[in-house]
Amino acid sequence: MEIKYVDAHSHPHFSAFDGDREEIIQKMQQSGVATVAVGTGLKTSKQAVEIAKEYDFIWSCVGQHPTENEEFDENFYKKLLQNKTENKIVAIGECGLDFYRMEERDKERQTKLFEKQIQLAVDAGLPLMLHIRSAQNSTNAHDLAFDILKRYKKEFPKLHLHMHFFTASTETAKKFLELDATFGIPGVVTFAKSVQEMVEFLPTDKILVESDAPYAAPIPKRGQRNEPSFIIYTLEKIAEIKKLDTDLVQMQILKNTAKTFNLNLSD
């Protein structure tokens, strides 16, 4: 199929799609929507690789979510990465810090888990799929993540940072732009004013779109189970905010996504 859009972050392998996965994927194919299937632990990382191997418009991302409490099995991930090309792994994650769902006293565990995965990404030469979520009315996770990532970027300038589900403030976006990050804009942009303002500020060449399906559907599908093909609504909203032609924004974002994950979209 001709890829027109890449949903930079979704979970089509999650059980929410067990009843109709084939149909959802067929809809993606009809709309020219490709995606990166993201793991959150051992089981879902393995499933992400499996679904990526099955469809030529799906890639995989493997790693452990900060709120996932299982033991981090470094060898499992290293083994998957030994066949990086065959397993179509384009990033490490989703990993990072979450002080929204977990309290800050979980900081030490999360920091260790995060640093192990940063090292994996450095060693594999892959970008990081970052999940950074601060406590309400706080920037605690973003501040700590910035300090950690700044240190790594200094030592490993080639390490690329992709901020998944970025809905933080313009101020926080500015900080991460200093580290040359890219930003995955979710469907939330179709209804949250603060996110719209931040997107207005973001340079268009740093923007990617994502569904995070099955979660967080955009208007007009808000409240429903989300799916990768709904990113078209998100993209249209971004074009509206940027006062640019939708086709132009679509092409720019496609280019940004290919660069971020080193995707070859011509085959």
* Contact residues: Zn ion, CB under 5 A: 212
* Rounded distance between C-alpha atoms, residue 5 and residue 148, angstroms: 32
The CB-of-10 to Zn ion minimum distance in angstroms stands at 7
Closest separation in Å from C-beta 206 to Zn ion:
20
In the complex with Zn ion, the residue whose CB is nearer, 7 or 212, is 212
Rounded CA separation 267/255 (Å): 15
The values of phi and psi at residue 5, to 5°, are -140, 145
Nearer to Zn ion, 40 or 256 (CB): 40
> Facing residues of 132 across strands?
97
Q: How many CA atoms lie within 13 A of 34 on its CB side?
A: 26
CB distance 154 to 252 below 8 Å: no
C-beta of 81: minimal distance to Zn ion in Å? Answer: 20
Residue 97 Cβ vs Zn ion, minimum distance, rounded to whole Å: 15
Looking at the Cβ atoms of 153 and 218, the one nearer to Zn ion is 218
Q: Which residue's CB comes closest to Zn ion?
A: 212
How is 182-215 classified by DSSP, letter by letter? EEEE-GGGGT-HHHHHHHHHS-GGGEEE---TTS
- Is the Cβ of residue 39 or residue 126 nearer to Zn ion in the bound state? 39
Type and span of the H or E element at 90: strand 89-98
CB of 62 to Zn ion, least distance (A): 13
Shortest distance, position 248 Cβ to Zn ion, whole Å: 28
Count other Cβ atoms within 10 Å, centred on residue 52.
25
What minimum distance in Å lies between the beta carbon of 9 and Zn ion?
6
In our burial notation (b when 16+ CB lie closer than 10 A, e otherwise), range 174-196 reads ebbbebebbbbbbbbbbeeeebb
Q: Which is nearer to Zn ion, 16 or 244 (CB)?
A: 16
- Rounded CA separation 88/13 (Å): 15
Q: Between residues 68 and 250, which has the closer beta carbon with respect to Zn ion?
A: 68
Secondary element (H or E) of residue 66: none
- Is 149 strand, coil or helix? helix
Given the complex with Zn ion, which of 98 and 212 has the nearer CB atom? 212
